[in-house]
Structure 1
């Protein structure tokens, strides 16, 4: 099951989260991309604040430092960026602040284990709250990218994903191999949490650029669609991609080109090969009495982006 709402608001986010929150218990972390300083496209802080206050009062936002030098490269700089971007209404745990831990990667092609921020081991459940958008290297950033890159620690795990051993080029892994490495990293994390992890993708302000590009992100030209949620990571990302493809060609051409030229769809097929979820799903429209719909029905009234 994948739930869908067109209600892009704090209330819409809360409503759809409640559909997929049944296994979330104990100490909970929200895995969120908090963005570079003043990033224009991240999930609005007031939406997340509302969700925290209404549904997850004891939660922490969980993040890791970046592999590239920038506003979130060190813990000190990262904490300053969090303040600038307004992530001050609940604790933020930079999971690799005090070190790393290795999690096993079952049936991986590239890894037998993945390095993550060691604070992850303190959590019982994870809510994966993702701004779905394009990505310079990954084609698109959904739940898989949010976890696979975002939970790997900034020095070891992210290097394992991005850099060929012995290479002087930190971005030497590209295209389909990169998608596979991201998915294997994700698998390490979701296997750790088992059933106590859930996935919410917000399809809004979808630049072809990731939020890691901050104010330098390419202008948004793709229409806003809505929010999807599932307890199945592959179904959530597959539905998000399908909803983008279901838009009119003139509305989705830039984002689709970004996905395809970076071999981003390999994320989906490799997650299926790793048995991380299902690419066949039922889309449930929670705005209309839980009607079963197809992606084209979901986006039939979407208006072109007017930036």
Structure 2
């Protein structure tokens, strides 16, 4: 927690007012989600802050607001308010120059916040290849029953088999569109932390069925640049030659690296970065 707080203080100069901490709170008893005490220690240092989430498109532990609130309690996110932003519906945020979308329906309460900290558990993802800061806001801020259909490119009822959902390059481009709507909304008042620990090939939305991590923990990254932080995390995974096979295979087989090039084309950050180690 000491290092997490130290890193946050290096990238929080533009964060003020009411602060949304965008966190993936996970399905019930998820084995790889961020430690509650770690997040609690950080949140306690951020005045006027709380965790924000949205409901899911798939029928799981966070499908309805009621079941989502119960899951939040089970997983121990009880030390501060958790705002399920789409509890009362959606608000449309514009996408400027999007690949596929002109607007995205976000959880209605997103407009109640002045700033956002995107606190992400970096890991693999069944459809996205990997889940970094971009995925956290692209899918995580979109409303469960409207916005998430848009981001997944689904009209009407989603197919029962998610393998039938749009994927690969189109999904990555849709996610970039959605993330762009959020970062354009907050402007400079958004910053990013990626925690590279317990990196299963599966997302925290997999819950107890998530595969066990096969790559060693790497550390915590912080940046004010969305593309740079996800690029750096991917680069660090590739640099772990001894044990990165499973996670690299997941990223490449899902065409997940298109997330990075799509962000670059949208001018959502810089692929060039300096990796500064903090003691």
TM range (shorter): over 0.9
The Cα RMSD (Å) is 1.1
Q: How far did residue 58 of structure 1 move?
A: 2.1
Aligned equivalent of 2:142: 152
Indicate the SS of the match to 2:263: helix
Structure 1 residues 1-307: aligned runs within 5 Å:
10-53=1-44, 55-165=45-155, 169=159, 171=162, 172-248=165-241, 250-287=242-279
How many residues are treated as equivalent by the alignment? 276
Q: How far did residue 168 of structure 1 move?
A: 5.7
Q: d(CA) in 2 for partners of 1:148 and 1:74?
A: 19
Q: d(CA) in 2 for partners of 1:234 and 1:179?
A: 13
Are residues 232 and 168 of structure 1, via their aligned partners in 2, closer, same or farther at CA, if it must alter by over 3 Å?
A: closer
Indicate the SS of the match to 2:228: helix
Q: d(CA) in 2 for partners of 1:173 and 1:101?
A: 24
Deviations 1:189-215 (A, max 9, x none): 110000000000000000000000011
Q: d(CA) in 2 for partners of 1:253 and 1:109?
A: 31
Q: d(CA) in 2 for partners of 1:155 and 1:263?
A: 25
Q: d(CA) in 2 for partners of 1:34 and 1:243?
A: 24
Q: d(CA) in 1 for partners of 2:156 and 2:117?
A: 35
Q: d(CA) in 2 for partners of 1:231 and 1:60?
A: 20
Deviations 1:82-129 (A, max 9, x none): 000000000100000011000000000200100000100000000000
Q: d(CA) in 1 for partners of 2:157 and 2:171?
A: 15
From the CA coordinates, give the structure whose radius of gyration is larger. Answer: 1
1:134·1:255 contact (CA, 8 Å) conserved in 2?
Answer: yes
Q: How far did residue 37 of structure 1 move?
A: 0.4
TM-score, length-scaled by structure 2 = 0.97
Deviations 1:192-246 (A, max 9, x none): 0000000000000000000000110011111000001100000000000000001
Indicate the SS of the match to 1:179: helix
Deviations 1:45-71 (A, max 9, x none): 000100111x21421100000000010
2:153·2:174 contact (CA, 8 Å) conserved in 1?
Answer: no
Q: d(CA) in 2 for partners of 1:224 and 1:134?
A: 13
Q: d(CA) in 2 for partners of 1:116 and 1:191?
A: 13
TM-score, length-scaled by structure 1 = 0.88
Q: d(CA) in 2 for partners of 1:168 and 1:100?
A: 19
Give 4+ residue runs of structure 1 displaced > 4 Å after superposition: none
Q: Structure 2: any 5+ residue segments left out of the alignment?
A: none
Q: d(CA) in 2 for partners of 1:221 and 1:61?
A: 29
